[in-house]
A and B are shown apart, each in its own frame.
Chain A
Amino acid sequence: MEDEELAPTLQNILDQRSLRWIFVGGKGGVGKTTTSCSLAVQLAQRRNNVLLISTDPAHNLSDAFGQQFGKEARKVDGIPNLSAMEIDPSGSIQEMIEQANAQNNGMSNIMQDLAFSIPGVDEAMSFAEVMKQVKSTDFDVIVFDTAPTGHTLRFLSFPTVLEKALAKVSELSGRFGPMLNGLLGAQAGGGGGADGDMFAKLESMRATINEVNTQFKDPDLTTFICVCIPEFLSLYETERMIQELSSYHIDVHCIVVNQLLYPAKSSTCAQCNARYKMQQKYVEQIQDLYEGDFHIVKLPQLTDEVRGTEKIKAFSQMLIKPYVPTSE
């Protein structure tokens, strides 16, 4: 009964107009970029301004659309209303180190060390970039193509971690700030002033982080789409990821199963048939485990790569109209 209510498509995502943040994640080469690009293309047909962001240093978006993207949002050729951005986390860290080295301030060195020891500083950099970009231009919805290393969850839990870290730093600064100012007062003539600024900046950052945190936990505003393949390890990772997302109170109600094989009935390929049997076994398990609560979209393995605007547009149709394998 519940099955009929949860269509095996991503139409529900397209229909939910309040959504602002959509994360597409899954571990290890399962087809995240293809799915996120396809979803972005479909969304662009129904919204005014869609942004597609990738934090993967391997530049998948540029490869997928055959167009160079960078730190600034750029319009995608051939698809109106869609812009794309590729953030390189390591590049941002380099910049920040250079900036910080420029001010030879005893206090700022300590703050630097502190800042770099916060867990997930890479994610922090991506986060900072995103916040900067997003605050400047108005986008209706932002699709994140997450990094394949599975650090997505660290990224998503980052607001909470950073909030706690900043709370601690504020507390410490309140207690030790005056003392340290006195100690370093001799060396850092203008240091006192700069530190005051820094703490004020941290406070305002904390407010922003808090706001983002609240938005991520609101199911009307944020959702997560798990992409997987019908194999044991991918399934195991998906289950683990879903449990972890629930513990962070991040909404997840869509699963995309990719790279499904549909060998022709007359096929004599031993590997294809064996793989098909194994995949079907896992697809059954997926249905059994997730059917009542998740939309399960099944995408086929195509004979050629999904690269280039036209192929992505064609592939994206399968997100709304379920693929029916041709039976021979």
Chain B
Amino acid sequence: MVSVLWIVIGVVVFSAVISAIGSDNLGEYIWYLWITFVPSKAARNVKQLREVQREAIAVSTERSNTSSQDEFAKWAKLNRKVDKLRGEIEKLNAAISTQRAFFKSQIRRVIWISTTGMKIFVRIKYRKVAVFWLPKGMFPGWIEWMLSLTSAPKGSVSVAAWFMITDYAIKGAVVFAITKTAEFAGAKRKMPAPAANVSEKKSGLEKKSIPNEGKTK
């Protein structure tokens, strides 16, 4: 049995990572995996949508290659077909977006259970457990009492307090890590052009600052 200490750290790290990625983004990624690899109804709809879209483009090109003055009948028939296909595309799009919304709401529910739900569960299950014992005499009585809220034995750190502490520490760390990685990736894209920079300066051209440079999702 893993000690409560590590369980708490695990849950908090997991929640922080998920909130840094964003539950919406996560939903999108998992949806994409779902329709690519799992033969579900949604995947079939998406495939059908792509086929219909391809057909619509083909018919539309054929129509624009037909002179409406000289071959009105053929042009009109192609026109009708394009309208019909567009109607189908709209229907499929609507069906897919409802499926997607449902899927993402399910994912959101799973995420909630595994993060907030887990936190509540752990807090309740281990409420009387001492995560670790404070060295005697290190902290004054009132601090010891606060750290043992709500039901842990006095002189130890309770799960609730430990949650707060790890939350504060890890959230900061995860956010910092992800921002630094993003900056690094952005900087890498900027890198290839130091020589050009120098020559531009020589020709007197000011390198205008691009507002969103370096900012990634």
Residues in chain A within 8 A of chain B (CB atoms): 232, 235-236, 239, 243, 281-282, 284-286, 288-289
In the assembled complex, which residues on chain A have CB atoms less than 8 Å from the CB atom of B70? 281
- Which residues does chain B contribute within 8 Å of A282, judged by CB atoms? 72
Chain B residues with Cβ below 8 Å from A281 are 70
The residue among B68, B69, B71, B73 with the most chain A CB atoms within 10 A of its own CB is B73
The reply to whether the CB of B76 lies closer than 8 angstroms to some CB of chain A is yes
From A232, A235, A281, A285, residue with most partner B Cβ within 10 Å: A285
- How many angstroms from the CA of A236 to the CA of B73 in the assembled complex? 10
Q: How far, in whole Å, are A300 and B79 apart by their CA atoms in the complex? A: 30
B83 in contact (CB, < 8 A): yes
For the complex of A and B, the 6 pairs showing the least CB-CB separation, nearest first, are A288-B73, A289-B73, A285-B72, A285-B73, A239-B76, A289-B76
Q: Which B residues lie at the A interface, using CB under 8 A?
A: 68-73, 76-77, 79-80, 83
Most buried by B among A243, A282, A289: A289
**Shortest beta-carbon distance from A109 to chain B in Å:** 41
* Residues of chain A contacted by B77 (CB below 8 angstroms): 289
Inter-chain CA distance A325–B173, complex, in Å, is 92
Q: Are A232 and B76 in contact (CB under 8 A)?
A: no
Given A239-B79, A243-B80, A243-B83, the answer on whether A232 and B68 have CB atoms closer than 8 Å is: yes
Judged by DSSP, the binding face of A is helix
A40 CB, min distance to chain B CBs, angstroms: 31
Q: Which of B69, B72, B77, B83 has the most CB of A within 10 A?
A: B72
User: B76 to chain A: closest CB distance in Å?
Assistant: 5
CB pair A236–B68 under 8 Å, yes or no, is yes
Interface residue from A232, A239, A286, A288 paired with B69 (Cβ < 8 Å): A232
A31 to chain B, nearest CB (A): 20
- B residues near A239, Cβ cutoff 8 Å: 76, 79
- Docked complex Cα distance between A236 and B77 (Å): 12
- Beta-carbon contact of A289 and B83 below 8 Å: no
How distant is the Cα of A280 from the Cα of B70 in the complex, in angstroms? 12
Query: Residues of B contacting A232 with CB < 8 Å?
Result: 68-69, 72
Please, how many angstroms separate the alpha-carbon atoms of A232 and B69 in the complex?
A: 6
Q: B69 CB to closest chain A CB, in angstroms? A: 5
Closest to A236 in B: B68
Is there an interface contact between A285 and B79, defined as CB atoms closer than 8 Å?
Answer: no
Would you give the shortest CB distance from A200 to chain B, in whole angstroms? 38
Q: List 22 A-B contacts (CB under 8 A).
A: A232-B68, A232-B69, A232-B72, A235-B72, A236-B68, A236-B72, A239-B76, A239-B79, A243-B80, A243-B83, A281-B70, A282-B72, A284-B73, A285-B71, A285-B72, A285-B73, A286-B73, A288-B73, A289-B72, A289-B73, A289-B76, A289-B77
Residues from chain B with Cβ under 8 Å of A288 in the complex: 73
**C-alpha gap A53/B83 in the complex (Å):** 34
How close is A234's CB to chain B, nearest CB, in angstroms? 11
- Shortest beta-carbon distance from A306 to chain B in Å: 28
User: A232-B68, A282-B72 given. 11 additional CB < 8 A pairs?
Assistant: A232-B72, A235-B72, A236-B68, A236-B72, A243-B80, A243-B83, A284-B73, A285-B71, A285-B73, A289-B76, A289-B77
